[in-house]
Amino acid sequence: MKVSFKLVNDKLPNHVPLMIDPKEIARYKDYLIEQGYTWTFLQIVRPKQLWGIVKKCNRNGRVIEHHVRAFTNGTVQSEYEQCRVEDMWEHLTTVSYSAHERVMGHFEELKIGFEFDQELHERYNKEADSSFPKRYMEFIEWLFAGVIFWTPLGYIWHFAYNMKNKFRNKFSKKSKQSENLALNTGD
Strands (E), 60-149: 62-71, 75-82, 97-98, 114-115
Instruction: Report if pTM > 0.75.
Output: no
Inter-helix orientation angle 25-34/100-110, to 10°: 100
pLDDT in tens, 168-179: 777 776 666 666
Cα–Cα distance between 116 and 131 in angstroms, integer? 23
186 is a domain residue: no
pLDDT band at 7 (very low <50, low <70, confident <90, very high): very low
Predicted confidence at residue 45, as pLDDT, reads 78
The amino acid sitting at 88 is M
Domain count, the chain: 1
Residue 11 lies in a domain: no
Q: Is residue 24 part of a domain?
A: yes
Q: Worst-scoring range by mean pLDDT, 19-23, 85-89, 102-106?
A: 85-89
Mean pLDDT of 148-169: 72
Tell me if 14 sits within 8 A of 80, measured CB to CB. Answer: no
Asked if residue 4 is part of any domain, the answer here is: no
| Domain extent at residue 54 | 18-181
User: Does the residue 106 lie in any domain?
Assistant: yes
Domain membership of residue 50 (yes or no) is: yes
Answer yes or no: are the C-beta atoms of 80 and 99 closer than 8 Å. Answer: yes
Residue 42 lies in a domain: yes
In a domain, 12, yes or no: no
* Whole-number average pLDDT of the chain: 76
pLDDT tens profile 64-92: 888 999 999 999 999 888 776 666 666 66
